[in-house]
Structure 1
């Protein structure tokens, strides 16, 4: 068996082994990815010391950036949620749009809230609002939920500071300004198709017969917001705006102003400023005790740590592939097969997503495999960003029983498994395919 064929075989077996370890053996994803990285390195004929060095390099390079962004993003979202900022935005948008146009208001809520908050956190926060709307109307809950879920899912898969896009951007060396630009260009049509359009087609004639309020929503009212709408919206969008402006400033003439704007637009700086701003707002203006703020941020870092380690392990696997020369072999095979980096990245992400459920692991795996191809092709920044968008699209499709998001949707919205498949699984697939379609069209014109 020649070099390229053997390289492909090792990669396929490695990915399959990772999936089996996670799904069947119930290994933690972090441990499974490290085992696969070490095994793949040895299978490629690497010396044990060299394989260990590759794993260390991959982990160190990724965690030095990803862990900081994921941790800051988690803290920022937790502080904003604790101050009622998310609820303030939701209430204002609903009041402005009115109940008759609730689909569009909830679409906007999903997009805006989905920028800083993780999908599961945002769903838990907004579920009481969705349930309340259902009880005050004659519509099924999925009529209100689909637009919100589409916005949350697409933003989670395409935009920083979410861990999947951040990790993929680091592996692909993508420009964050381009990611933000094309994330919105490709993501907004996907949100519309998978959200209000799908809800209108599938559920406009259905009522809420037999709907039972989920147990988690039986008691208590959504808490009152303390942070006002304007402040909350500004806080949510400010980090993303800084990152975009910082990316644009890299093309400015050399000088102090350019250096300052680039510094402020770095994801580290932008998120630090956002966290400090919300911390001071809650502490000074709303008199939130420091002990409470520490508890909020401390709890937010718990899942962030686990996510960062999984991302680091995926990066270690990527580094092993690069150091072994597998990336060059895969690039040669894909080039001969005339599969574009964008389509290759989408297919890998979709396969891993369907097989093991985690969008983040799917994005890290796909980015790791696509990185050598992207580097060899010498793609311009916009095309690299579109490859990342394709990865996010693949990591969005076919959410099913091996995805924690599937069960969160089912439990928090009071849906049966069958209802969740019809609403969420189909909706997530529509979102991913629409994102891919727009990215492919955009790529053809660049």
Structure 2
């Protein structure tokens, strides 16, 4: 649909400001569900801007349809993949093996790497609940503060959750910006490694030395993990690598002439939903059937894993509505011209927008959705290189991670699981999240100069 060129730019900007204020007030003050808030805010922008009612309806339908068709399968397949990995003990296998290889002195590094890998297929909350007993057992054995090990684990989980597909956040941003997932994975891994190192082992050591947080009594008395019942380490690594390798191979084949002969095959296998389907089937056989799960049990596990995806998909779809409302009203052109005149790199703008929403609303999903919608509505986005768009995606991921505080459910989950008060959680977890987002963004900014 063509943008409405006849609308007054001043009215468009006013419409955007009022619409976004309505959205934020509904979420923050009125505690209205994010999906409804974003939808009401988007429609308000269209009405105040003076868009014809038929175009408002068309923008809503266009936003929902075009957004969901790119991510619905990926979110569902990723959830099932993560659920099988979770119930089979695959996450624990990675953590236990890595800690044993690194040793107690460098276990913080092992936990950071494990968290990063596990958060790609497994939701943050589930990954934390599965792996935090191992961090506590290490703290108990070494008589150190629990923060010495939990902060690196949290940093790794936060990085994998925010920066690297197939976790839903970067997938939805990449879809809205129209960027190849292979580039997003490569840039996400590169940014994530630096972010994990700074926010994980380095910051964790500082926190562990400054604040002594004892291991919760309920955990201190638990028995150690029985490794004999866990799947093999390389089996888990191989299964997790399947979608990543296939998607990256597809991206590489597009720019390497020597692979032109097999490019059609790699393009098919590297299509994200195909790659994830292969990984899910491999997990079903190697982690499900081979470990005694029946068809009925796997079906229940995989079906239950889809329950939280409805909220993710609907919030994301409404973010698509916001994007198309901004774009079709002509506001995208106004924002684009303002950014150009301000001489700010798009990567910086993307980070700032996502960070402001994150600080205001608390939800990283809403922050990613809104920032991606605003950036995607700008003119000329499709003409940017895949590498630059991948950097923009990483910048949005970074902005949506910083400054977790009282309005973020993750803040309260970490506080309760680790056993800290609010003040200590702000001084440890909140700074860790800000380091994750900030360092990831800075790495993406540096890479963008060469894109």
- Is this a same-fold pair by TM over 0.5? yes
Corresponding residue for 1:233? Answer: 237
Corresponding residue for 1:98? Answer: 103
Mapping 1:348-387, distance limit 5 Å: 348-373=353-378, 375-376=380-381, 378-387=383-392
Q: Deviations over 1:326-354 (max 9, x none)?
A: 10011111111112211111110000001
299, 307, 312: which one aligns with 1:302: 307
Residues 377 and 271 (structure 1), Cα distance of their counterparts in 2 relative to 1, 3 Å cut: closer
Q: Structure 1 stretch 6-15 or stretch 363-372: which is displaced more?
A: 6-15
Distance (whole Å) between structure 2 residues aligned to residue 374 and residue 207 of structure 1: 51
**What SS does the corresponding residue of 2:255 show, helix, strand or coil?**
coil
Q: Kindly indicate whether residue 276 of structure 2 is the aligned counterpart of residue 271 of structure 1.
A: yes
105, 110, 114: which one aligns with 1:109: 114
Corresponding residue for 1:200? Answer: 205
Asked whether the 8 Å contact 1:74–1:301 carries over to 2, the reply is yes
Q: Kindly indicate whether residue 281 of structure 2 is the aligned counterpart of residue 247 of structure 1.
A: no
Question: How many Å apart are 1:94 and its aligned residue?
Answer: 0.6
Asked whether the 8 Å contact 2:146–2:212 carries over to 1, the reply is no
64, 73, 76: which one aligns with 2:78: 73
346, 353, 361: which one aligns with 2:351: 346
Unaligned 5+ segments in structure 2 are 1-6
**What SS does the corresponding residue of 2:143 show, helix, strand or coil?**
coil
44, 63, 68: which one aligns with 1:39: 44
* Moved beyond 6 Å, runs of 4+: none
Distance (whole Å) between structure 1 residues aligned to residue 48 and residue 218 of structure 2: 50
**What SS does the corresponding residue of 2:343 show, helix, strand or coil?**
coil
Distance (whole Å) between structure 1 residues aligned to residue 363 and residue 106 of structure 2: 33
Mapping 1:5-404, distance limit 5 Å: 5-204=10-209, 206-208=211-213, 211=214, 213=216, 222=225, 224=227, 225-251=229-255, 257-373=262-378, 375-376=380-381, 378-404=383-409
Question: How many Å apart are 1:142 and its aligned residue?
Answer: 1.1
Unaligned 5+ segments in structure 1 are none
Residues 165 and 312 (structure 1), Cα distance of their counterparts in 2 relative to 1, 3 Å cut: same
Distance (whole Å) between structure 2 residues aligned to residue 27 and residue 145 of structure 1: 33
TM-score (norm 1): 0.95
Question: How many Å apart are 1:394 and its aligned residue?
Answer: 0.3
Q: Deviations over 1:18-42 (max 9, x none)?
A: 1211121111111111111211111
Asked whether the 8 Å contact 2:182–2:247 carries over to 1, the reply is yes
Q: Structure 1 stretch 211-220 or stretch 266-275: which is displaced more?
A: 211-220
Residues 52 and 325 (structure 1), Cα distance of their counterparts in 2 relative to 1, 3 Å cut: same
Residues 12 and 214 (structure 1), Cα distance of their counterparts in 2 relative to 1, 3 Å cut: farther
**What SS does the corresponding residue of 1:302 show, helix, strand or coil?**
coil
Distance (whole Å) between structure 1 residues aligned to residue 105 and residue 245 of structure 2: 31
Question: How many Å apart are 1:78 and its aligned residue?
Answer: 0.5
**What SS does the corresponding residue of 2:384 show, helix, strand or coil?**
coil
Residues 217 and 368 (structure 1), Cα distance of their counterparts in 2 relative to 1, 3 Å cut: farther
TM-score (norm 2): 0.94
Asked whether the 8 Å contact 1:4–1:330 carries over to 2, the reply is no
Question: How many Å apart are 1:137 and its aligned residue?
Answer: 2.1
Distance (whole Å) between structure 2 residues aligned to residue 67 and residue 337 of structure 1: 36
